[in-house]
Amino acid sequence: MTLQHVVEEYATFRRTLGEKFGVNGKLLKAFCRAMGEDTALQDVAPERVSAFLNGIGPLTASWHVRHNALLGFYRYAISRGFVVHSPLPIVIPKRPPAFQPYIYSQAELRRLMDATSSYQRDRGSLEPLTVKTILLLMYGAALRASEVLSLTNADVDLLNAVLTVRDSKFFKSRLVPLGPVTTQTLTEYASRRSPSGSPREAEASFFAGRKGKKIPLDTLEGAFQQLREYAGLHRAGGSRCQPRLHDLRHTSAVHRLTAWYREGKDVQLLLPQLSVYMGHTYLAATQVYLTMTPELLHEASLRFELYAGREGHHD
């Protein structure tokens, strides 16, 4: 039985369990291409599997992502009797340090937005207004890039200032209330976007490319990388450590928490609400986004000092 046939059968099996099987599905397709799609499953050599896992360059967290995808596949193949042994390496390398999200300052966010009108080298790419509005929405509503790009005209209710985010990560849908600034930003975009490039049908993409079609994620990622470089935002550590588009969502969460501290709000009470707003099922998933910054640490310290002072007064 060929490797490709078993991979396709495994993908079907995972989807019947309710999984989207997007990332792992792509990784297994890449594995098939690397091994040879007509290769018999039992002929996949361990050294070729190791080469696929190692990739090119230094070890990153991607090694473990690829390994987990292959681990599930080979457990399935062995349980079905398609193969007797797994060719995966026995020794698992130590995970590299976790990627530290980049938290943009307010000044850096302004630099990004200001640069949207002049960063492009290719005027045939995304319209500056579209890029700017997407970035503002990601930050203003703490959305994933994929969630923003999947919005249809019907999902954007500007009259009631609410978005409908459908079938996002883990098949969840949710309503996302918008603040007045974000609502105004979307309203202006809706009135100014190119009529020829933005179909008005309810099911059409709210954010569309110049030809009126849904914007691919890699297109937006590429545009953001150009924008970031033009704005001069970078940090040490090489290309793999540079500020990302997704860090806007991290930044939104951290800035919201910092603002709550400054406003004297009950942060512990509000954290579950932030978790729901961001589309998380568990609070632990939200905590991943709460990178400690000097500003956040300062506000938390002030809150602790206030609390400690009250406790000392009671004594």
Domains of the chain, residue spans: 3-79, 110-241, 247-314
- For residues 279 and 168, the answer to whether their CB atoms sit within 8 Å is yes
What percentage of the chain reaches a pLDDT higher than 70? Answer: 88
Give the tens place of pLDDT for each residue, 103-162.
Answer: 999 999 999 999 999 988 766 678 899 999 999 999 999 999 999 999 999 999 999 999
- Cα distance between residue 265 and residue 272, in whole Å: 13
Distance CA 83, CA 81 (A): 5
CATH node for 110-241: 1.10.443.10
Q: What angle do CA 90, 28, 55 make, to 5 degrees?
A: 60
């495994």: which residue's tokens?
10
Furthest C-alpha separation in the chain: 77
Q: How far is the C-alpha of 34 from the C-alpha of 59, rounded, in Å? A: 19
**Helix or strand or coil: residue 214?**
strand
Name the average pLDDT for the chain.
87
In terms of pLDDT, which residue wins out, 182 or 301? Answer: 182
pLDDT digits (tens, 9 = 90+) for 41-81: 999 999 999 999 998 877 888 899 999 999 999 999 999 99
**Confidence class of residue 311 from pLDDT cuts 50, 70 and 90?**
very low
Alpha-carbon distance of 62 to 278, in angstroms, equals 25
298-309 pLDDT, tens digit per residue, is 666 665 455 445
pLDDT in tens, 199-229: 778 889 999 887 788 999 999 999 999 999 9
| Mean pLDDT, range 175-192, rounded to an integer | 94
Q: Specify the pTM.
A: 0.71
d(CA 283, CA 281): 7
